[in-house]
Amino acid sequence: RLKGRPPTDVLVGEGRSGREVQVLYTEPGAKGLYFFVNNRLDRIVR
């Protein structure tokens, strides 16, 4: 869990490289999209 807040949206899908999870956080003044591949953080889009 990041920042101790529940995520705004979570998408779980089966990708080419295995299990992909996208976690979207929308906070006042900040927005982040976290991509996890096989339970490892792959990249962060802000």
Task: Provide block-wise average pLDDT over 10 residues at a time, the chain (46 residues).
Answer: 70 79 84 86 88
Check residue 3 and give its pLDDT: 59
Q: Residue 31: what residue type? A: K
User: What's the half-sphere exposure (Cβ side, CA atoms, 13 Å) at 14?
Assistant: 0
* Separation in Å, CA 45 to CA 15, 25, 36: 18, 10, 12
The whole-model pTM stands at 0.60
Check residue 16 and give its pLDDT: 73
Within 8 A by CB and 6+ apart from 4, the residues are: none
Residue 15: Cβ within 10 Å count: 12
For the chain, which residues make up each domain, given as ranges?
A: 9-45
